[in-house]
A and B are shown apart, each in its own frame.
Chain A
C-alpha cells in the first residue's frame, strides 16, 4: 500500500495553453490516497482541463503530474497502464452504444486484464447491483434514461478496479430528477474509501462528501479548504462572489 503521507496524485506547476488562452496557470495540487476532492469554479475556469490532464486526455505544456509514483507525461511510462488505475466518468456518459450494458462493463477487464469472461460478468453483475440497475444488464444503452446511463458509466469505470475515480461534471447533462440517483452512487463510493476527484456544481454533494474543496478561476487555483471553511468564511473575493451567485 502507498504510504499515507505520499500523495497519490501530485500536480506540480502545471501550465496549459490553448492558443492565446492560458487554460491552466501554475496549478499545484496534492491529493492523498482515500481523499475526496471536489473542484468548483465558473465555466472556462480550467477545472475540467485539470481533471482531464490527470489521465492525459489533455497533455500539459509545462509542469508535471505524478499519479501513484508515475509521471503521466513521461513517454517511458505506459500511459495505458496508468489509465487503468484511473476511472473516468464523463458529463456525456460516453457509453459504447454498440455493446449491451454488461458488454460495456466487461469489455475492458476481459481485453486488458485478461479476466475470464464468466468472472468478468459476475463482477459486472455485482457492480450493476451496487449502482441499482442489475435488471438492465442485457439491454443496449439507448434504452436507458440519463441517470441510468451515468450509473452504468460509473460501474464501467469501477469494473477496472481503479485506485482513483475522476468525475467530470457527472450530473450536468442530467434532468434534475435524475441527479439524486447518480449522486447517491457517488456518495456510497466515497464512503467505501475511494479516492475521488470530482468537478461538479453540486454544492450539496461537495458539502457532504468532500474532504477538501478546490476553487478555480481563469486557470488558477484560488482557494483550497474544507467544506466548513468554504461555506462559512470564504476568503478570496472571487470565491465569495461565485458562492453568492450559486447558493
Chain B
C-alpha cells in the first residue's frame, strides 16, 4: 500500500468572493460593499449632479456592450471549456496532448496580448466586426481557464459513480452525461461563476479594440470634458455593482443545486 502524501492547497481565484449561501446574517462583506457602491453613486448624483449624473446618463450604452461581450463569451466559453476539460482527462494521448497544449499556451500569454494578437491575426484573413473579434478572443482565452475548472470538477467525482454506471451497462458517454456531469456541475458552479465574473471584469480590456464598452464609454466622456477622475470613479462603482450582483446570483444558484443534500 502506498502512503498518500497530504496535499495542502491554497485556492485563490481572480473573480470575486462568492457569498456563502448559508450565511444569513445581514451584515456581510458583500452587503457592506454593495451599500458603499450604490450609496456612493446615489450620493454623488444627488449632491453633484453635474458632472456625476451626466456621466451616469452617458454610460448605459457601454454597460449594454459590456454585457453583450460577457454573455456572448460565456456562451461560447462553456462548450470550449467542456471539450477542453474532457480532453485533458482523456486517456487518448493525442487528444490529451492537444487539450493540454492549448491550455498551456493560453495560460502563458497575457490576455491583453492575446486580444491584440487574435484581433490583428484575424484581421489578416477576414474582416470581422470589432465586437465579434473581441468575443472570439475572450472565448479562446477563457475556454482554457474554464477547461481547467471542468477538469477539476469532473475529476473530483468519486470513481465509484463511474463504476456503478458502467456496471449497469451504460457506455462511457452515457456515464458522463447522465451520472458524472450532473454531479460535477454542482462542484463546478462556484468556480465557473467566478470565472464569469473575472470574464466580465476582463471585458474592460476589449476597450482597446475600439469596442465601446463601459470603460471606453467613460474614457469617451472624459476626453471631451477632461473630467477623468469623475468619469473613472463612476465606471469603477458601476463595475463593482455589477460584479457584486453577479456573485450573489452565483451564490443563489449554488444553494438551488444543493437540493439532493442531506436535510
Residues of A near any B CB (own CB < 8 A): 55, 57, 80-81, 83-84, 86-88, 90, 92, 94-98, 107-108, 111-112, 140-143, 153, 156-157, 160
The 0/1 profile, CB within 8 Å of A marked 1, for residues 169-180 of chain B is 111001000110
Closest to A83 in B: B169
Contacts of A95 in B (CB 8 A): 164
Find out whether the CB atom of A98 lies under 8 angstroms from the CB atom of B168. no
Contacts of B170 in A (CB 8 A): 80, 108, 111-112
Which of A94, A112, A160 lies in contact with B161, CB distance below 8 A?
Answer: A94
Which of B158, B167, B259 lies in contact with A88, CB distance below 8 A?
Answer: B167
Find out whether the CB atom of A111 lies under 8 angstroms from the CB atom of B178. yes
Contacts of B167 in A (CB 8 A): 55, 57, 83, 86-88, 157
B182 at the interface (CB under 8 A from A): yes
Closest to A159 in B: B168
Find out whether the CB atom of B169 lies under 8 angstroms from the CB atom of A84. yes
Known: A96-B179, A97-B183, A140-B260. A108 touches B160 (CB 8 A): no
Find out whether the CB atom of A94 lies under 8 angstroms from the CB atom of B164. yes
How many angstroms from the CA of A81 to the CA of B170 in the assembled complex? 9
Find out whether the CB atom of B169 lies under 8 angstroms from the CB atom of A80. yes
Closest to A85 in B: B169
Which of A84, A92, A97, A143 lies in contact with B168, CB distance below 8 A?
Answer: A84
B124 at the interface (CB under 8 A from A): no
Contacts of B261 in A (CB 8 A): 140, 142
Find out whether the CB atom of B166 lies under 8 angstroms from the CB atom of A98. no
Find out whether the CB atom of B161 lies under 8 angstroms from the CB atom of A57. no
The 0/1 profile, CB within 8 Å of A marked 1, for residues 206-243 of chain B is 00000000000000000000000000000000000000
Chain B interface main SS type: helix
Additional pairs, 16, CB under 8 Å, beyond known A86-B167, A160-B168 = A55-B167, A57-B167, A80-B170, A81-B169, A83-B167, A83-B168, A88-B163, A88-B167, A94-B164, A96-B161, A108-B169, A108-B170, A140-B259, A142-B260, A142-B262, A156-B168
A208 to chain B, nearest CB (A): 26
Contacts of B182 in A (CB 8 A): 98
Find out whether the CB atom of A57 lies under 8 angstroms from the CB atom of B183. no
Find out whether the CB atom of B262 lies under 8 angstroms from the CB atom of A160. no
22 pairs, A vs B, C-beta closer than 8 Å? A57-B166, A80-B166, A80-B169, A80-B171, A83-B167, A83-B168, A88-B167, A88-B168, A90-B163, A90-B164, A94-B161, A94-B163, A96-B164, A96-B179, A98-B182, A108-B168, A108-B170, A111-B174, A111-B178, A140-B259, A141-B260, A157-B168
B50 at the interface (CB under 8 A from A): no
Find out whether the CB atom of B174 lies under 8 angstroms from the CB atom of A98. no
How many angstroms from the CA of A96 to the CA of B179 in the assembled complex? 7
B263 at the interface (CB under 8 A from A): yes
How many angstroms from the CA of A195 to the CA of B142 in the assembled complex? 53
Contacts of A81 in B (CB 8 A): 169
Known: A92-B160, A98-B183, A142-B262. A107 touches B166 (CB 8 A): no
Find out whether the CB atom of B262 lies under 8 angstroms from the CB atom of A143. yes
Closest to A92 in B: B160
Contacts of A83 in B (CB 8 A): 166-169
A68 to chain B, nearest CB (A): 14
Which of B171, B179, B263 lies in contact with A143, CB distance below 8 A?
Answer: B263
How many angstroms from the CA of A86 to the CA of B163 in the assembled complex? 13
How many angstroms from the CA of A97 to the CA of B259 in the assembled complex? 10
Find out whether the CB atom of B166 lies under 8 angstroms from the CB atom of A112. no
Find out whether the CB atom of B163 lies under 8 angstroms from the CB atom of A98. no
How many angstroms from the CA of A41 to the CA of B157 in the assembled complex? 30
Find out whether the CB atom of A57 lies under 8 angstroms from the CB atom of B163. yes
A158 to chain B, nearest CB (A): 11
How many angstroms from the CA of A88 to the CA of B261 in the assembled complex? 25
How many angstroms from the CA of A143 to the CA of B158 in the assembled complex? 19
How many angstroms from the CA of A140 to the CA of B182 in the assembled complex? 15
Contacts of B158 in A (CB 8 A): 94
Contacts of B163 in A (CB 8 A): 57, 88, 90, 94
